[in-house]
A = this chain, B = another copy of it.
């Protein structure tokens, strides 16, 4: 008989939000944003990989992030449930799903309010053009590409953001507006959190619901905990067979 899928309530009150890059300041802003939607008594803890790139675009840095994130989570010494991995999944959360049976959530790629019969624009903060194909492939695999009006890149990087927030906000808002007006998007999903100003600004200019990706992820994660759901282990996400890793070990 399989293990009872219903974990004790205990550890379920701490949500881990793992940054995909090795920049603690970003980790902080990622963990801060969703606190507004946390249920009473739920703690949100940010986690920073101990290696990888200070910001992630493209495949090389993304694979480093995938490993860095697994490493950070495996060496985390507090109980937690579930885990949020920031960003649109282009940094691959499947490794975590094999390693843990707590749910692993990234930015829900179909905006929760989006009708199944309608698409959504996904202008991501700090989504450079080169990252768009990675996100589009994630949508394809989820069967959602046909429903996504467009994935648009604001050529704004996290550093830009820290340098001049207003300019960055303006760039992103303009991109969202193109998504709504030219691509017929009905919802805007923001690629990362930590920008109080942005959400309101996009809504004001575009008149569509705006989804803060990380807050949405936390919110879905809480649902999973309430439903006591675990990652399915029967096939795709079976735990890895123990093997002697060479030249690398998690949490070294």
Contacts and interface: CB of A to CB of B under 8 A. Distances in A.
Assembly stoichiometry (copies): 6
A170 interface: no
Interface in A61-101: 61-64, 66-68, 70, 89, 92, 94-95, 97-99
A50 to B, nearest CB: 5
B66 A243 contact: no
Contacts of A215: 227
B140 A140 contact: yes
A95 B229 contact: no
18 contacts: A4-B203, A5-B203, A57-B240, A58-B98, A60-B95, A68-B248, A94-B117, A113-B231, A116-B138, A118-B133, A118-B236, A130-B238, A133-B236, A209-B230, A209-B231, A216-B223, A219-B224, A220-B220
Given A39-B39, A113-B229, A116-B143, 15 more contacts: A1-B207, A37-B227, A58-B238, A61-B240, A63-B95, A64-B67, A66-B66, A103-B113, A113-B230, A113-B232, A116-B138, A117-B236, A130-B236, A186-B234, A219-B227
